[in-house]
Each structure stands twice: as structure tokens, then as C-alpha cells.
Amino acid sequence: MPQSPRYAYLGPAGTFTEAALLALPEGGEVEAVPHPSVPAAFDAVRSGECDAAVAAMESSVEGAVTATIDELANGEPLMIERELLLPVSFALLVRPGTPLEQVKTVASHPVAEPQCRRWLGRHLPEARWETAASNAEAAKQVRDGTFDGALAGAFTAARYGLEVLAEGIHDNEGAQTRFVVVTRPGPPAAPTGQDKTSITVGLRDNHPGELMEILEEFAGRGVNLCRIESRPTGEAMGKYYFFIDCEGHIADERVGEALLGLRRNSARLRFLGSYPRADRQAPVIRPGTTDAEFAEARDWLAAVRDGNR
């Protein structure tokens, strides 16, 4: 009997990451394997113990999930195979029967608290907030009686025998989290026409304007950036590398040539994957940058080099 694929995630059960994993098309059929940290989840993929890992990449409110970024940039190579966007919706979870006025302590992952601050200020101005390693961990500690309430997804309640006392308590309508599915390196996902490419790249010698030159490698070929994130290299204060998402697929000529430029003119370039955009937005392709135009130009150059005009 064939084994189910195994997917690693940041546990314990009941986290948003688990919800993301379950939201995948194959979510119902894979074995979800919780890990205590993103590096641990990724290591499970590297070692072959798991087939993929699901990890939060970015919050529209709190920004980059740096543990994910740094691990993709610095750890043994992995590949982003897919991304998905999940709306963020927080609930206040309590032990069954607890009324609002008895909630004196509220626990959550540090990312959750600022997203619910306005609601908390209005409805629980006296409650003390406590940090937890994950929202699911907070729920577990509510179950165990350590705290009175947990900020977590409503779906977490059932896992720990809790009750949803209030739903949709996050301040920011439309907040989303972006998750990625990470695998061992291999051929990138097939192009769909609405793709994104992720890389990390460093400066070669930190000369003035070097970051602009890196951006020009994209701009000069009509490749738009979706996002650029600077991260410390860890070597010294003031040394950074960049995590960049750009429009398009590595199979696209314009993206390929931009990467060639980076390969020649930057340091520690790492290709992290080309994959369909979760928002299905198609790129605006500037005239002169289609694959057909690249091919035509290449034919022309070959002919001219041979002396035919």
C-alpha cells in the first residue's frame, strides 16, 4: 500500500500554517507533520523525511516572516513550488462557558497581538497579554488553565476543546498571509503566464549605487519587481542581502536574461523557484520583451555575426 506524502509544518496542530496546509488541493490526503520551528520543518524536507513543507512567508500586516526567508537564503537549498494566500481571521478562544468579563489574560504568538490591538483595547482593556510560541500553543495553554483566552483561528478551538467567544476580532479588514510550499530542488513548476520568481542576491563589493544596478538588471529587461526585502547577512552591521520576488518565470527569456545579469554582476545569487502567483495577476509585458522578440533578435544576431544581413 503506497504511503501518503508527508508535509512538514510549523506546529502544533491548530496553527494558521496547518490551516494553510489543509487548504491545499491535496491537503486532505497528505500526512501533516508538525515541527517546532520553520528550520526544523525545512530540515525534514532536506533529509527526505518529508516531501514538502508549508511555511508562512509574509503577512500583509506584519511583513516578512524572517525565519522563512533566512532559512531559504542560507540553509541547504530548497525550492518554492507554490504559494497561497489565506485571509487572516482571529477569534478569541476560551474554555467552554467562560464569559468575557472573566478573561483576565490573553495569550498569542507575538504577530497576533498587534493585529487585534484595537479590539482588545475596546473589549478587554484590563486583560494582560502574554506571549506564546504559536497561537495553537496559546490555545493549548488556555485548555491547561494557564491563560484565560487565546488569539487564534476559529478552527483551532475544536483541537483543544475550546469555545469561540468572539470572531473576526482583527483590526485590519482584508489582512492576508502568504504561505509557500517548499520542496527539494528540482525543475521549476511549469509556466502558467501568471508566474512569479523568487531569488536571493547579495552585493559584490558594496559600491555606491550597487543596489540600483541590481534593480536595473530587472528593469532593463522589462521585469517588474513584486517585492524586495533586505536582510542582514549576519557578517556585520550594515551588510545586507536581498530577497526579491519578480514577475515572470525563469523559463521566460526576459527573466532568464535578468538572472544571467545578476549571476555575472552580483554575489551569492540563489534561485528559489518560479511558480504560479496566488493572485493570478498577469504581468504587463513591455514591448520588446516577449519571448518571440527575444528569439527574433537572437536569430538576427546570429545572422549578422555570420555576415548575412
Residues 28-57 that bind its own copies (CB under 8 A): none
Answer yes or no whether residue 280 interacts with its own copies by CB under 8 A: no
39/62 Cα distance (integer angstroms): 20
Question: DSSP characters for 216-275?
Answer: HHHHTTT--EEEEEEEE-SSSTT-EEEEEEEES-TTSHHHHHHHHHHHHHSEEEEEEEEE
Q: How far is the CB of 94 from its own copies (least distance, A)?
A: 21
Answer yes or no whether residue 261 interacts with its own copies by CB under 8 A: yes
Answer yes or no whether residue 153 interacts with its own copies by CB under 8 A: no
Answer yes or no whether residue 308 interacts with its own copies by CB under 8 A: yes
Other Cβ atoms within 10 Å of 203 Cβ, number? 19
Candidate residues 12, 188, 248, 276; the one interacting with its own copies per rule CB under 8 A: 188
Candidate residues 118, 122, 264, 268; the one interacting with its own copies per rule CB under 8 A: 264
Candidate residues 24, 60, 74, 119; the one interacting with its own copies per rule CB under 8 A: 60
Answer yes or no whether residue 167 interacts with its own copies by CB under 8 A: no
The stretch among 5-13, 118-126, 152-160, 260-268 that binds its own copies (CB under 8 A) is 260-268
Answer yes or no whether residue 301 interacts with its own copies by CB under 8 A: yes
Answer yes or no whether residue 185 interacts with its own copies by CB under 8 A: yes
Q: How far is CA 114 from the centre of its chain?
A: 19
Closest to 13 (Cα-Cα) out of 143, 195, 189:
143
Residue 17 C-alpha cell reads as 500554517
Residues 61-80 that bind its own copies (CB under 8 A): 61-63, 66-67, 77
283/280 Cα distance (integer angstroms): 9
Answer yes or no whether residue 159 interacts with its own copies by CB under 8 A: no
Answer yes or no whether residue 189 interacts with its own copies by CB under 8 A: no
Candidate residues 72, 90, 250, 275; the one interacting with its own copies per rule CB under 8 A: 250
Answer yes or no whether residue 104 interacts with its own copies by CB under 8 A: no
Candidate residues 44, 127, 132, 181; the one interacting with its own copies per rule CB under 8 A: 132
- How far apart, in Å, are the Cα atoms of 246 and each of 219, 259, 295? 10, 11, 22
Q: How far is the CB of 167 from its own copies (least distance, A)?
A: 21
The stretch among 5-13, 16-24, 158-166, 206-214 that binds its own copies (CB under 8 A) is 206-214
Q: Where are the alpha helices (DSSP H) in the chain?
A: 16-23, 38-46, 66-74, 112-115, 117-123, 135-143, 156-159, 210-219, 253-265, 291-305
Three-state DSSP class for residue 68: helix
Sign of the CA dihedral running 103, 100, 132, 241: negative
**Terminal-to-terminal C-alpha distance of the chain:** 64
The stretch among 27-35, 147-155, 162-170, 238-246 that binds its own copies (CB under 8 A) is 238-246
Answer yes or no whether residue 265 interacts with its own copies by CB under 8 A: yes
List strand residue ranges (DSSP E) for 60-172, in order: 63-64, 79-87, 91-94, 105-108, 128-131, 149-152, 163-167
Q: How far is the CB of 275 from its own copies (least distance, A)?
A: 13
Q: How far is the CB of 75 from its own copies (least distance, A)?
A: 12
Candidate residues 5, 75, 110, 168; the one interacting with its own copies per rule CB under 8 A: 110
